[in-house]
Structure 1
Amino acid sequence: MTTLADPARDSRTLVAAGLIFVYAMVIGFTDNFVRVIAEDAGLWQFHATRMVMAIAIIAGIAPFLGLRLRPVRPGAVALRSAVHGTAMMIYFGCLAFLPVATVAAGMFTAPIFTLLISRFAYGQRIGPFRIVAVAAGFLGVILVLKPGQAGDIGPATVLPVVAGVLYALGNIATRTWCAGERAEVLLAGFFLALGSFGLIGMSVLALWQPAVPEGVEGFVLRGSVWPTGRFLFWTFVQAAGSLLGVGMMIRAYQIADAGRVAIFEYVILPASAFWTWVLWGETLGPLAVAGILLIFAAGLIIALRGR
């Protein structure tokens, strides 16, 4: 095994970093409008509606872009989609009863678990520089999320970490279980999984019919309601933006090592903070700025020294 630098691998890592940057900027913008969507409808209807819109967009552009939506290994694609979809539903569901800082900190443990799974399940070397990068990036996440504002630690706080584990497993599955699958196949599977969860949730809430708070507080418990024009517009923006962003993310994991790409995903935090400032005028404090610098440092360590 050679110890020399691999220009082809380094080039793929650089391209993957660019794809993740585009993904972060797009998702950071669209996710800032979830607060607007939450005022008019529920989490489950949002995912179900977004699935219909996203699949319609994919089907509409497929003939013009030469997209092929038939999976090579349907079982692997379905399993990968279910794992990623479950991670995201746990993440959004936890927002109903846990502070955002607690949920996000748990979700962003995913790069740590990506490296651990890669090491112990697949025997990949992770090296000291990548370990340092993960530690620096996670510390940056904690600083951005303003430590000390989370609620009391209890059994429920484990769920966001479970989401992080599943998200990491789904990222690895993109390159291992689903090697050879086209990006559009994985993208369609991702939206179908989330939409299926949305339909199941709407069915359960139609039978259960719990008391639902008004506004954003009722986002998780709200079942099917008559959609407003604002809900449909921003859900379509979410669908189109997610197709572009998640498609970029999937492609990044296809062309480069999952352990390296996972570090670049930290950039979604400063991207979201940037759009929050542009759209809503909310600014970051000194700790958050320090955290962002650590996040970028983690990405640079992986890009320049990761092996």
Structure 2
Amino acid sequence: MQSLQAQSNPGVGIAFILVGVLAISVNDMLIKFLSGGYPLHQMVFARSTIGIVFSLMLVQLEGGWRILRADRPALHLLRCGMIVIANMTFFAALAVLPLAEATALFFVGPLFITLLSVPLLGEKVGPLRLGAVIVGFVGVIIMTRPWEGQAARDVPMVIYLLPILAAITYATNQVLTRMLGVTSKASALAVYIQVTFIFVSLGFWIVAGDGRYAEGITNESLVFLLRAWVWPEGRDVWLFLGLGFNSAVVGYALAQAYRSADAAVVAPFEYAGLPLAIFWGWLIWADLPDRVTLMGIALILGAGLFVFLREYQKKRRVLRGKRVHGRW
């Protein structure tokens, strides 16, 4: 019990999650900024190739090469597949949607985590948390406005579904991370994902790296996925290097945050990414959400924070019960 208490440091955890969220927002901003001239898989390859160097350094600090041995390879592979789908679909949406809208829709992820925890982790979800999930999904409906016809839309409805699909697969990844993190180090988990990204992006390059599949396509998300590889020029070289370094910062900061403090304490601070997304959208693209979109964002934000609050209160009651019954 003493070692667990020594490892629990909410202040450090919150500091690292804020650094990680800032790095994530910079990552999303850079990818959206570069999406008009480079394919997504090229950026993913550059980011993961540079980022894995830093992650392998952390592997050495956390125990050496032996910690890369996976006890449950099938689950690790499934986890990596989920995060690849989450990234690809979210970034494809970024090529078309304003940064704030894509980010807000992605933040329904914690609501899906709540739902998935029932069949996958055997957790119980009470009526209050279930109600919060419903409110969050109402926010999604308000933001996507399915009642509007195609003629009234600047963006096809299917594009709005991409960050939601990203949220579902990211939530699945998070649940699998809870299951696998008991026996695997954070640096090893990061290396698995980066290796997967490298192989997937190389596969895209082999199949579509010359851009032949992008010819004649008007959908900007598909063009972003299938555009030909182009060697970065001028300042873009530094932006690609920034993506790689930023990827390492994200992986390290998030791992340290969730190792330093309870997830129920740390996770709500991930929502700091939403005002950051609104800020980058306003600063670089002069995009500000309208009133209806802000209403949907507020519902998603409120529902997600409520879910985390209820989970935190639930854990505190369990801990108090253990103290009362002398189980400590």
User: TM-score, structure 1 length as denominator?
Assistant: 0.74
Distance 1:222 1:45, change over 3 A: same
* Maintained 8 Å contact 1:13/1:303: no
Give the secondary-structure state (helix, strand or coil) at the position aligned to 1:238.
Answer: helix
Mapping of 1:1-307 within 5 angstroms?
A: 19-59=16-56, 68=64, 70-73=67-70, 75=73, 76-93=75-92, 107-139=106-138, 145=143, 147=145, 149=153, 151=155, 153=157, 161-206=164-209, 209-212=212-215, 217=220, 218-252=223-257, 265-291=270-296, 293-298=298-303, 300-306=305-311, 307=314
One-letter code aligned to 1:238: L
Give the secondary-structure state (helix, strand or coil) at the position aligned to 1:220.
Answer: helix
One-letter code aligned to 1:189: Y
Q: Which has the larger radius of gyration?
A: 2
* Maintained 8 Å contact 1:44/1:198: yes
Aligned Cα root-mean-square deviation (Å): 4.0
d(CA) in 2 for partners of 1:239 and 1:158? 28
Deviates more, 1:192-201 or 1:101-110: 101-110
* Maintained 8 Å contact 2:104/2:300: no
Shift of 1:157: 7.0
Shift of 1:280: 4.5
Deviates more, 1:14-23 or 1:25-34: 14-23
d(CA) in 2 for partners of 1:274 and 1:94? 18
The alignment-based identity, stated in percent, is 28
* Maintained 8 Å contact 1:260/1:302: no
Deviations 1:44-73 (A, max 9, x none): 11111111111123345666x556453252
d(CA) in 1 for partners of 2:179 and 2:200? 25
Deviations 1:143-190 (A, max 9, x none): 6x5745575556x87665443322111101111133232211112222
Shift of 1:242: 2.4
Deviations 1:8-39 (A, max 9, x none): 7xx77887665444332221123112233223
Shift of 1:92: 3.1
d(CA) in 2 for partners of 1:140 and 1:14? 31
d(CA) in 1 for partners of 2:225 and 2:55? 27
d(CA) in 2 for partners of 1:20 and 1:137? 23
Distance 1:244 1:137, change over 3 A: farther
One-letter code aligned to 1:111: P
Q: Where does the alignment leave 5 or more consecutive residues of structure 1 unmatched?
A: 1-7
Q: Where does the alignment leave 5 or more consecutive residues of structure 2 unmatched?
A: 315-328
Deviates more, 1:86-95 or 1:255-264: 255-264
Shift of 1:82: 2.4
d(CA) in 2 for partners of 1:263 and 1:136? 17
